[in-house]
Amino acid sequence: MSILIIAEAGVNHNGSLELAMQMALAAKQAGADIVKYQTAVPELVISRFAEKAEYQKQQTGEAESQLEMVKKIHFGFAEHRKLKEYCDSIGILYLSTPFDLPSIEFLESMDPPFYKVPSGEITNLPYLEAIAALKKPVILSTGMCEMEEVQAALRVLREGGCPKVTLLHCNTEYPTPYADANLRAMEDLRRQTGCPVGYSDHTLGIECDIAAAALGAEVIEKHFTLDKTMEGPDHRASLEPDELAAMIRAVRNVEAALGTGEKHVSASEGKNRPIARKSIVAARPIRKGEVFTAENLTTKRPGDGVSPMRWHEVLGKTAARDFAEDEKIEL
């Protein structure tokens, strides 16, 4: 099964439905499987006393609250329905992460094939129970989590009826320093939970996504934007469309390169075996009846004659005819 690549549009549309549609098309053209947004009723998610994260302050200033910022860049349910219709029309899967119970109920009305649970909701028991009750597969981001918290959320989902959970290793800093990416944590998640694993990437580049593919990620999620210089909290830690396309090409190349894991001669290299390998040949002219020795034999290309692996078998035998220098010997 191919790696599932999620192009995370998030709120990088800045509240513009037209921009969100342009992002869906850009994700499709870049080769993503899914374009993902965020669905929320801001007043149900963020209290009026909540401060912005430091990276949000750096990108959007400190004059407004987190709630005021989020209210400006989230769609209502009607816009999300239009966005899904547009995604369907261009042939890319629409997905949105819900952040509250009414948003879960709304998204279920559009019958998504699975749900994406963000890192911030992994300790939200009522939320997890509502997701589990839908009995659909879940992709769960694990940013800011200790393993015990991952295991606790996983129990809630499984006991509530969720048939499959894929865990995404994630670092919830925007952008994530490379030294904190800790990609091998994917292996720990897989080993300790038995779940399929993937990676939700917030680093600035594409190296971690390529490495995650090589480490066996089944899902890769990456933020993207149409323009990193736009105003908004997440643009700086996102890829632009050409960078997203380059990431996806690289991931697909790594995916193809991983192969089956079985050592065998490939179709492309088989034709080069006689060219690159050697045969046993006459090191000098050899007369009929002469005994083959290490002095009158050597090994040279091409490799379509007697294999040098039979060297000791050949030594001591008698030449059945004359051989010119460099001629492949025959037994």
Query: In sequence order, which residues have a C-beta less than 8 Å from that of residue 309 and are 6 or more positions away?
Result: none
What is the pLDDT, as a whole number, of residue 11?
92
Q: How far apart are CA 279 and CA 304, in angstroms?
A: 6
pLDDT score at 72: 85
Its pTM stands at 0.90
User: Could you tell me if 222 and 247 are in contact, meaning their C-beta atoms sit under 8 angstroms apart?
Assistant: yes
C-alpha dihedral sign at 153, 67, 9, 256: negative
Nearest to 151 by CA among 171, 123, 177: 123
In this prediction, residue 231 carries a pLDDT of 84
What pLDDT is recorded for position 217? Answer: 98
pLDDT tens, residue order, the chain (331 aa): 799 999 999 999 999 999 999 999 999 999 999 999 999 999 999 999 888 878 777 777 777 888 888 888 899 999 999 999 999 999 999 999 999 999 999 999 999 999 999 999 999 999 999 999 999 999 999 999 999 999 999 999 999 999 999 999 999 999 999 999 999 999 999 999 999 999 999 999 999 999 999 999 999 999 999 999 998 888 888 999 999 999 999 999 999 999 999 999 999 999 999 999 999 999 999 999 999 999 999 999 999 999 999 999 999 999 999 999 999 999 9
Q: What angle do CA 114, 118, 120 make, to 5 degrees?
A: 150
**CATH fold of 4-258:** TIM Barrel (3.20.20)
Type and span of the H or E element at 116: strand 115-117
Q: Are 189 and 122 in contact (CB under 8 A)?
A: no
Chain centre distance of CA 166? 13
What's the pLDDT at 64? 85
If you write DSSP's letter for every residue of 204-242 in order, what string do you get?
A: SSSHHHHHHHHTT-SEEEEEB-S-TTSSSSSGGGSB-HH
Q: How far apart are alpha carbons 232 and 226 in whole angstroms?
A: 12
Shortest CA distance to 169 belongs to which of 180, 158, 160? 180
Task: Provide the residue ranges of all domains of the chain, joining segments of one domain with +.
Answer: 4-258, 267-314
Q: Which residue has the tokens 């909701």?
A: 121
CB 221 within 8 A of CB 203: no
